[in-house]
Amino acid sequence: MSDRRSAQWYGGDDRNSYIHRAWMRRGLPADAFDGERAHIAIANTASDLTPCNAHLNEVARSVADGIHRAGGIALNLPVVSLGETQVKPTAMLWRNMAAMAIEEMLRANPIDGVVLLGGCDKTIPALLMAAASVDLPAVVVPGGPMLTGTFRGVPLGCGTDVWKLSEEVRAGTLSAAEFQRSESSMIRSRGHCNTMGTASTMGLLAEVLGMTLPGIAGTPAPDSRLLEAAHATGVLAVDLVDQERRPSAVMTRASFHNAIVALAALGGSTNAVVHLLAIAGRLGVELTQDDFDRIGAGVPLLVDLQPAGRFLMDDLYRAGGLHAVLAEVQDLLDPSAITVIGEPLVSALGTAQVYDREVIRARQDPLQMEAGIAVLYGNLAPDGALVKPAAATPALLQHRGPAVVFDSVEDLHARLDDPELPVTADSVLVLRGCGPKGYPGMPEVSNMPLPAKLLAEGVRDMVRICDGRMSGTAYGTVVLHVAPEAAAGGPLAKVRTGDMIVLDLENRRLDVDVPAEEWAAREPSAEAAKAYAAPTRGWEKLYVDTVNQANTGADLDFLLGSSGDQVARESH
Ligand code: FES
Ligand code: MG
């Protein structure tokens, strides 16, 4: 009997192998089951309700062509998909569910390897978490960003410009009718958001982690070269099975080091921190939030993309793409990290070239000298909080100001624009109850809108602090992922309006300036606790009962680690 995994189902001539084969015949020839052919699942997150991934069925056909060409059997496996803009209360609540469901289906089925098709924010993280915990040979095809739409002759960054335009409406500088008109220009084509948001970041980092065919991440979704890459990935998948090259051999500590360097140079999304921590947690790779600050802090920001900068993903691809960026920081990369083709990641960088120095800056001429994500600690964040200096107002990164506290998103919306709200440009907006357990699911609400009266005065940024996340397409001086969250007993629950808050980026501190004795004696807000999630059944209950805090990746505690690809028992 063949030693392929699928042969455990199809090999032999007993009743069980008969059943496994017979139900799969449906057009497959008998030699599909001869043990010579690799059975490759295409874990496909295409869904009409995940518009960013809706084109993946076409991509899957090209992958399947490649698998067949290499002598394998291609099997389309629709998996749980998450449309970032559509699912409530937040797609992050379902990331771990998707990862768990995908993991179990990869393990339970007669497959030897898997091609992972994702795009929209949570889909690539969920696929990589699942693949890491099954550890079957796996490779990613990132679905790619959409083309750039324009409105009034100006490029629109999706996500980012929704925030900007809606603030303009609130400030009275854009009419509601014009705002509506921009809606049909926002999404120009198939593909995911075209800013350096979470989808773009995780697609690119999937390649930096070594999990794609080198040179394909960032290929725009409508570009023919994406289908060419998908075909080549299908061919590679069969080879991966023959080589028995598994995610655990590719995604090593060295790969995560490189991902952190790339995240900084690209100016990628803060969400990548929780996703990379979660993937590492599945692999048993030692990675902490502090590694992001330690490894990423000295890395220069080279890519001038929205939300912090000017250009969009299509421009990055045109300018030379990911490899051109990585080549600029090659000396900071760990050369021992390999990719799915078995070669070092850095060996692909020799031919990289930059075609537009406005989009990809030279190492000696960066947009910022130090671009990484900073991790803050203090009496407001004993387990850490993040801030992305590249998306912040530099002057606000050393700041002392009185807190204006909101107990929930609903409380924020109800009171933010109240003319009586005791708020000035120096105030620090605090929003709690938005962590993994509290909301639940840690939504992207940390980049709170600014009070209308301050917008009218021309204020465009303020210090904001929250235990939630921030959209990768958002910007501002936002301290987020505060851990522990208020609903898990974190000190954010004790802050009161008027307390002085001190943000000190230089010393990586986030503190409330209340006398120690008074602070120790203070009770968490009972009002805030009323808004915390208290589910009694279903996924939400499982999630709230078992989710870890943001500083370790917000995975469910029992999903850490790997169970491998073995299934113990027969089904009949
Ligand atoms: Fe799907 Fe932005 S909504 S990537
Ligand atoms: Mg997002």
Give the residues across from 43 on adjacent strands. Answer: 77, 116
Q: Which of 172-176, 272-276, 538-542 has the lowest mean pLDDT?
A: 172-176
Superfamily of domain 374-533: IlvD/EDD C-terminal domain-like (3.50.30.80)
CA atoms within 13 A on the CB side of 572: 8
Mean pLDDT over 299-321 rounds to: 95
Residue 257: both structure tokens together? 């080091």
pTM of this prediction?
A: 0.97
- Closest ligand 1 atom to 84 CA: 3
Of residues 3 and 380, the one with the higher pLDDT is 380
Residue 162 pLDDT level (bands cut at 50, 70, 90): confident
- All structural domains of the chain with their residue ranges: 30-148+188-348, 149-186, 374-533
- Is the distance from the beta carbon of residue 109 to the nearest atom of ligand 1 less than 6 Å? no
d(CA 371, CA 373): 7
Whether 348 has a pLDDT exceeding 90, the answer reads yes
Look at phi and psi of residue 486 and say left if phi exceeds 0, alpha if psi is from -120 to 50, else beta: alpha
Going by pLDDT thresholds of 50, 70 and 90, the confidence category of residue 166 is confident
Name the packing angle between helices 271-283 and 92-108 (round to 10°). 30
Q: Which one is predicted more confidently, 390 or 345?
A: 345
* Span between the terminal Cα atoms of the chain, in Å: 20
Average pLDDT over residues 156-180: 86
CA of 445 to the centre of ligand 1 (A): 16
Going from the Cα of 83 to the center of ligand 1, the distance in angstroms, rounded, reads 7
Q: Is the confidence at residue 471, as pLDDT, over 90?
A: no
pLDDT reported for residue 1: 63
Higher pLDDT among residues 161 and 313, named by residue: 313
> CA-CA distances (angstroms) from residue 118 to 63, 102, 136?
13, 12, 17
Angle at 468 between CA 121 and CA 376, to 5 degrees: 105
Cα 507 from Cα 387, distance rounded (Å): 13
Closest ligand to C-alpha of residue 187 is 1
The two tokens of residue 368 are: 């910022």
**472: pLDDT strictly greater than 80:** no
CA of 120 from ligand 1 middle (Å) equals 5
Q: Which of 202, 158, 207, 210 is nearest to 314 (CA)?
A: 158
Instruction: State the DSSP H helix or E strand holding residue 409, giving kind and residue range, or none if neither.
Output: helix 409-415
Q: Which atom of ligand 1 is nearest to the CA of 51?
A: 1
The 10s digit of each residue's pLDDT in 421-431 is 999 999 999 99
Higher pLDDT among residues 447 and 55, named by residue: 55
Helix (H, G, I), strand (E, B) or coil at 364: coil
Confidence class of residue 193 from pLDDT cuts 50, 70 and 90?
very high
Q: Which residue has the higher pLDDT, 447 or 544?
A: 544
| Tokens 């851990």 sit on residue | 483
Q: Is the pLDDT of residue 170 over 90?
A: no
Number of alpha helices (DSSP H) and beta strands (DSSP E) in the chain: 20, 14
Q: Which single residue is written with the structure tokens 């394998």?
A: 72
Q: Which residues pair with 151 in a beta bridge?
A: 154
Helix (H, G, I), strand (E, B) or coil at 480: strand
Match 């603030």 to its residue by tokens. Answer: 167
Whether the pLDDT of residue 99 is over 70: the answer is yes
Average pLDDT, the chain: 95
pLDDT digits (tens, 9 = 90+) for 236-293: 999 999 999 999 999 999 999 999 999 999 999 999 999 999 999 999 999 999 999 9
Instruction: State the average pLDDT over residues 322-327.
Output: 98
Q: At residue 473, does pLDDT exceed 80?
A: no
Ligand 1 atom at minimal distance to the Cα of residue 200: 4
CA distance 63 to 234: 4
- Determine the Cα–Cα distance for residues 328 and 510; give it in Å rounded to an integer: 33
Closest C-alpha to 443, from 412, 466, 476: 466
| Proximal ligand: closest to the CA of 203 | 1
> What mean pLDDT is predicted for residues 169-189?
89
Q: How many whole angstroms separate alpha carbon 428 and alpha carbon 478?
A: 10
Among the bound ligands, the one closest to the CA of 81: 1
Rounded Cα–Cα distance for residues 478 and 386 (Å): 8
Query: Is residue 85 within 6 Å of ligand 1 at its C-beta?
Result: yes
